[in-house]
Structure 1
């Protein structure tokens, strides 16, 4: 994370998430008397399991297949060279079925995966596709997937704590269970507001890093225009809708958006 603005935002959001995490752990310790080291260990195991399962499930649900190097040698060469320039290991490349042009990255710098939809390859020119792939490599370089997973893990801990707080304070009947689920979802969403805020900034950073990697921002700007238009003409699969937060293109402009407005991203890219 070379970007000073990103470091500052991560420090603030990280402190807030740590406070939420401490609150959740403290609740379980106070109510159930489980030793803190065990609670921390269980939460770590939960996050790791969630991370591994989500990666496997995401690729499987999108019918992911490794991108054949003999059929797409230019993409493989570009990824190998750009990964070397960024100081990360070459990720595994996947071709996925999404119904819309899109791409996403999973994993970490030493064991990453970049997935591109068949529709994306068909839609974009070579330099535009390279801009998109560079954006996903930047996400791996900046550990964005891990940060999102940690945020979701903290949200889950808070959700569990909120649920049990409602159950233990009531009669433990069906009404309490129903209210507990609602409160749990609200608590998780409160935590995710902060995670989404940092996610939106990370998209800008990945755009800038991609522009640096390919030498200019215009190819990625053109790619975003085409992806946005393609998304309006096409219907994503149900599985694709579930991974929208991971993708290079995600609609919306609110506190619950994982991506900043596409128009603003394009404007910034054309200034690089």
Structure 2
């Protein structure tokens, strides 16, 4: 089974997050009735998915990356999409402040956004590696899982806040409700993050496989990190940070709840993969001789 580890994490995370959702539904059943709760939660999840995608694109002022202006990028994405057996996604360019890229949507309705600074920073092979990484996210469906998990976390946070805040008219109840809401969202998000870090490793590996050039992606990640971590570089927006190939600068606390593994580890894995490929090629060449 391809990417069994990622799929197992997605299933386990989905079951746990759904368990939180089921507890919320059971609690609200006595107030609104189960059919109403189920209907409202489905509508909320769909709305969050659609709105989340729209807000992500709007948040970086994304515009279509026209094929007439960038034919080589469109050709690269079309070739990679064919190799991955997914429909070619919509390509857009956004303003993110730092070199970055992210994917939203699902197969057949996906969108890949690259920043203006990314196109200026990377050479053709490095850009191909980044594009393949984002296409891998769409192919593996992990973007949808991330968005749905975040939707459930937000639903639970909202319910927690209003239940506590409405239990008393005082300001104290409102403050406690806000604190508990943040705690609940953070707790549920932990299980969403269980797949978030691993999916980056998988997308890196897929990109290396489909491009046949892990060194190019490793070089791209190194360049992105060097520019993105500069003291004067703006941090990545919270709205798209978890979806981006570069999650932004992090302190100690942010590292504990990071949506991305350390860039150095990703680069080391790609470098090791490149060395293993060279060894295999050398052994194959010697055997043919």
For the 8 Å contact 2:60–2:94, the answer to whether it is kept is yes
Paired with 2:5 and 2:122, the residues of 1 have a C-alpha distance of: 31
Deviations 1:46-72 (A, max 9, x none): 111112122222222322111111221
Structure 2 length-normalised TM: 0.88
- The alpha-carbon deviation at position 162 of structure 1 amounts to 1.9
Q: Secondary structure at the match of 1:171?
A: coil
After superposition, where does 1:222-241 map in structure 2 within 5 Å? 222-233=219-230, 234-236=232-234, 240-241=237-238
Aligned: 1:220 with 2:217: yes
Q: Secondary structure at the match of 2:50?
A: helix
- The alpha-carbon deviation at position 241 of structure 1 amounts to 4.8
After superposition, where does 1:1-272 map in structure 2 within 5 Å? 2-30=2-30, 32=31, 34-168=32-166, 170-233=167-230, 234-236=232-234, 240-251=237-248, 252=250, 254-272=255-273
| CA RMSD of superposed structures (Å) | 1.7
Paired with 1:236 and 1:49, the residues of 2 have a C-alpha distance of: 30
For the 8 Å contact 2:156–2:185, the answer to whether it is kept is yes
Paired with 1:96 and 1:161, the residues of 2 have a C-alpha distance of: 34
For the 8 Å contact 1:196–1:255, the answer to whether it is kept is no
For the 8 Å contact 1:193–1:255, the answer to whether it is kept is no
Deviations 1:126-149 (A, max 9, x none): 000000000000011111221111
- The alpha-carbon deviation at position 237 of structure 1 amounts to 7.0
Q: 1:61 to 1:161 in 2, by over 3 A?
A: closer
- The alpha-carbon deviation at position 262 of structure 1 amounts to 0.5
**Structure 2: segments with no counterpart, 5+ residues:** 274-289
For the 8 Å contact 1:217–1:271, the answer to whether it is kept is no
Paired with 2:170 and 2:207, the residues of 1 have a C-alpha distance of: 53
For the 8 Å contact 1:27–1:161, the answer to whether it is kept is no
Paired with 2:33 and 2:220, the residues of 1 have a C-alpha distance of: 51
**Structure 1: segments with no counterpart, 5+ residues:** none
